[in-house]
Chain A
Amino acid sequence: MSFEQGVYYALGAVGLFVFLSVMVLALTWIERKGLARIQMRMGPMRVGFHGTLQPIADAMKLVVKEDILPSWADRRIYWLAPLAVFIPALMLWATIPLARDAVLANLELGLFYIVAFSVLSVMGLVMAGWGSANKYAILGGLRAAGQLVSYEIPFIMALLGVAMLVQSLNLIEIVDHQARWAHILIQPLGLFIFLTAGLAELGRTPFDIHHAESEVVGGPFVEYSGAHWAVFFLAEYINTFTIAALTVLLFLGGWQWPGMPFDGFLNSALSVVWFLVKIYVVIALIIWIRGTYPRLRIDQLMAFGWKLLVPLSFVNIVITGVVLFYGWPLWTLTLMSLILLAGTFYLIATYRGTAMERMTVSVHPARIARPEPAVALQQEAGTSTDG
């Protein structure tokens, strides 16, 4: 690598870090405001206009706070864990393009690289759980390991479906392939699998079992405070942003904008903006889910992953392969995908019986259950004598 190249990558990495930090700050504000809207609150209002500076105030607070090291913690693992989560989260962005020209390194094996690095964050969570030497943290860390490893499969399979369609692992080529039809129109099932598995990878509601406050009190992060906790937090939100960005890139057409009238720099700038708009639409969906859904239990989560998502993701690969092999028109794939998706939703909706069957509470009128007036009077007379 030449010196110029080194400088370019160093600057790019710094730029990326700044960009992601800004995005995360915006994301926390949007999430808090969005949740507040769902919950009839106002959210942050005091710091800056409608609380826009709240994320900065929070970041300041976290950095200034005391960084507590539990005396019984495994010191090296404890301090390394935030980095082990954060670095893969950041590394992913090396190959994620914001527009056709706005990418640090456009890898030919982009998707492969992403898959490889997205798996790594599990290690950090387990390290955090182990290093804290806290039972809740260990429980959370192991939950994270189980969950992330099992959802990795449908996640990768959904990526593979897209790669098969495009016949490339290059993210820019994937976006270019969607110039006419976004992949959501061709593989709705793939999108469903990807987003669901993505939510599980992120550990967000309804799959947030590894840091469930009401059960394991924050899971692996329970002992962390101050800047180290902030690093975890940053990584988690970068990952959220990443999943949203990947959803847009792989299924929603990336920065494609039908009939974009400009070219050159203006085109790139507007592409980035349009891309970000799409990302925040996906993020709004994630926030909406967080605002309305309870959390699954670990065994239900595993059952959902292994019994539904994994087979579905394989079916998705098979139908994509069949359509491509026989050269059928793509709308047949859409049709099959939609049928499978409808079947999945039907299965989920009726798995525990219909709404009528679930209603096991009946209301009995009081006059039936009430004792005869004479009995009631007798009882009253009986009790009043001892007074």
Chain B
Amino acid sequence: MQVQRQPTQQADTIDLMVNMGPQHPSTHGVFRVVLWIDGERIVRAEPHIGYLHRGSEKLCEGELYSQVITLFDRLDYVSNLNCELAFCLAVEKLMALEIPDRASYIRVILCELNRIASHMLFYGVYGLDTGAMTPILYGFRERERIQALFETVTGARMMHNYIRVGGLRHDLPEDFVPKMAELMDHLKRGVEECDDLLSNNEMFIARTKGIGPISGEDAIEFGVTGPALRAAGVLEDVRISEPYSIYDRFEFGIPVGTYGDCWDRYYVRIEEMRQSMSIIEQAMEQMEPGPTVSALRRITRPPKGETYMRTESPRGDFGVFLVSDGSDKPYRVKVRAPSFANLQALQHLFRNAYVADAVVILGSIDIILGEVDR
């Protein structure tokens, strides 16, 4: 990283090294950045990852295809269903499997709900990062409601293991439709409330506008994807550029920012929640009764070969590279984790930042360490 020499540095001083993390309250897990600071300005930043490395990719090789799904639940632990979906889609692609329509619709509905839940967590934590303590409770209220619905559907609040190769574990519960309608009512109001509470707050704007900007070209070079890339003004969403599952059946908007600063990254996510709700509504309308699992043998044995499946997780382009040797266990699984790629831009974003900005910038990338370290 280019060291920016400030005029004040010509005095005979040394930069203070501050170890931010892995036990710092706002590193979103066990992330560690070593900061060299000159007064309040960051001169150099050195991220260290790997504190949450569990060897998930290697573990996948020893598990049956049906068991690997549980490992994917634990990658991005705030948007589990999106991870499950990516793996199942990859296996299905390898097997050229047809999925019943109803299963696809339920997958989309749950994944979009999970996207909202994930962004709600981001919203709350971002509030904390900027020093406002109330947003987290508003964000968690909505997230809690979504998780309650997940519990009625999948039996678990977070580690669902619900999406299976070829469909779903089981159909929706009978009272899903009224519960969903109620949830949507709450969510619509909730998102607007959250938006009102923080987005146009003068101090929040002061803390996030123009902080950690990144241009579209730079973002692409760094491999940044998802909301962070869209905030930089690039219209790119896997749900649209490479529609998977049944995303080509819905009409929805893609929020795109202008400057790629923290505020854009924040607001793109707020807007995405609205768009996700519109997708869910369309899916609820189009969904028809039917089977939720395709005819399958007990043990999944994809044909020999390899495939790569891209999906749009709440954090960006979540890719699964799968190699099968024809047995009941994957030969190799490689995950392209969006948080990991987005984190590469961290030093670039930290240019000319203050210590207080470091927290805000890190928060705006919205990393999940379970996914970064895998």
> Closest CB-CB distance, B233 to chain A, in whole Å?
9
A206 proximal to B (CB < 8 A): yes
A370/B256 contact (C-beta < 8 A), A206-B203, A352-B202 known? no
Q: With an 8 A cutoff between CB atoms, is A267 at the interface?
A: no
A340 within 8 A of partner (CB): no
Enumerate chain A residues within 8 angstroms of B40, measured Cβ to Cβ.
Answer: 139, 143, 298-299
By a CB distance below 8 angstroms, the chain A residues around B22 are: none
Interface residue B148 (Cβ < 8 Å from any Cβ of A): no
CB-CB < 8 A to B305: which residues of A?
Answer: 386-387
- Residue ID in chain A nearest B129 by CB atoms: A214
CB distance from B366 to the nearest CB of A (A): 15
**Interface check B180, CB cutoff 8 A:** no
Q: A298-B354, A387-B307 are in contact. Are A358 and B204 (CB under 8 A)?
A: no
Please count how many residues in chain A sit with their CB below 8 Å of the partner chain's CB atoms: 54
Q: Is the CB of A371 within 8 A of B263?
A: no
Q: Would you list which residues of chain A between 280 and 306 have a CB under 8 Å from chain B?
A: 290-300
Select from chain A the residue with minimum beta-carbon distance to B354. Answer: A297
Whether the Cβ atoms of A367 and B251 lie closer than 8 Å is yes
Q: How far is the CA of A38 from the CA of B141 in the complex (A)?
A: 13
Among B96, B129, B131, B264, point to the contact of A360 (Cβ < 8 A). Answer: B264
With A and B bound together, what is the CA distance between A291 and B243 in angstroms? 42
B237 located at the interface, meaning its Cβ lies under 8 Å from any Cβ of chain A in the complex: yes
Decide yes or no: A294 and B138 within 8 Å by CB, A215-B359, A383-B93 being known contacts: no
CB within 8 Å for A296 and B206 given contacts A213-B25, A363-B255, A369-B254? yes
Q: Which residues of B contact A373 (CB under 8 A)?
A: 248
Per-residue A-contact encoding for B78-103, CB less than 8 Å = 1, 0 else? 00000000000000011110000000
Tell me the complex Cα distance, A387–B1, Å: 42
Taken together as a complex, chains A and B put the C-alpha atoms of A293 and B205 apart, in Å, by 11
Q: Decide: A364 and B202 in contact? CB cutoff 8 A.
A: no
A260 partner residues in chain B, CB cutoff 8 A: none
A373–B231 Cα distance when bound, in Å, is 26
Q: Residue A208 at the B interface, CB < 8 A?
A: yes
Which residues of chain B come closer than 8 Å to A206, judged between CB atoms? 131, 203
- Determine the chain A residues whose CB is within 8 A of the CB of B203 once the complex forms: 206, 293-296
Q: Does B287 contact A (CB under 8 A)?
A: no
* A378–chain B nearest beta-carbon distance, Å: 12
**B62-70, B105-113, B267-275: which lies at the interface:** B267-275
CB distance from B192 to the nearest CB of A (A): 15
CB distance from A33 to the nearest CB of B (A): 15
A358, A361, A370: the one contacting B271 at CB < 8 Å is A361
B295 at the interface (CB under 8 A from A): no
Taking the closest CB of chain A, its distance from the CB of B11, in whole angstroms, is 16
Asked if B132 and A293 sit within 8 Å, CB to CB, the answer is yes
Is B252 interfacial (CB 8 A cutoff)?
A: yes
Question: Residues 3-39 of chain B: 1 if any A CB is under 8 Å from the residue's CB, otherwise 0?
Answer: 0000000000000111100001110000000000000
A40 to B134, CA, bound (A): 9
Q: B205 to A363, Cβ gap below 8 A?
A: no
Cα distance, A215 to B25, chains bound together (Å): 8
User: Does A387 contact B128, Cβ atoms closer than 8 Å?
Assistant: no
Are B206 and A214 closer than 8 Å at their CB atoms? no
Q: In the complex, what's the smallest C-beta–C-beta distance from B117 to chain A, in angstroms?
A: 18
Is B355 a contact of A215 with CB atoms below 8 Å? yes
Say whether B141 contacts A294, CB under 8 Å: no
Q: Is the pair B253, A366 in contact by a Cβ cutoff of 8 Å?
A: yes
B53 to chain A, nearest CB (A): 25
| Most A CB within 10 A of own CB, among B95, B231, B253, B302 | B253
A365 within 8 A of B: yes
CB neighbours (8 Å) of B251 from chain A are 365-367
- Residues of B close to A365: CB separation below 8 A: 251-254
A387 pairs with B133, CB closer than 8 A:
no
Chain B residues with CB below 8 A from A360, complex form: 257-259, 263-264, 267
A135-B18, A370-B248, A376-B248 known; A294-B201 Cβ under 8 A = yes
Q: List the interface of chain A (C-beta within 8 A of B).
A: 35, 38-41, 135-136, 139, 143, 205-206, 208-209, 212-217, 290-300, 348-349, 352, 355, 358-367, 369-371, 373, 376, 379, 383-384, 386-387
Q: Can you list 15 contacts pairing A with B, beta carbon distance less than 8 Å?
A: A39-B137, A205-B133, A213-B25, A214-B26, A214-B128, A292-B134, A295-B130, A297-B207, A348-B202, A352-B206, A361-B268, A363-B255, A363-B275, A366-B252, A370-B241
8 further interface pairs, Cβ-Cβ under 8 Å (given A136-B18, A360-B257, A361-B255): A38-B134, A205-B131, A214-B359, A291-B134, A292-B134, A296-B203, A358-B205, A365-B254
List the 6 shortest-distance A-B pairs measured between CB atoms, nearest first: A295-B131, A363-B253, A360-B258, A294-B132, A294-B130, A214-B26
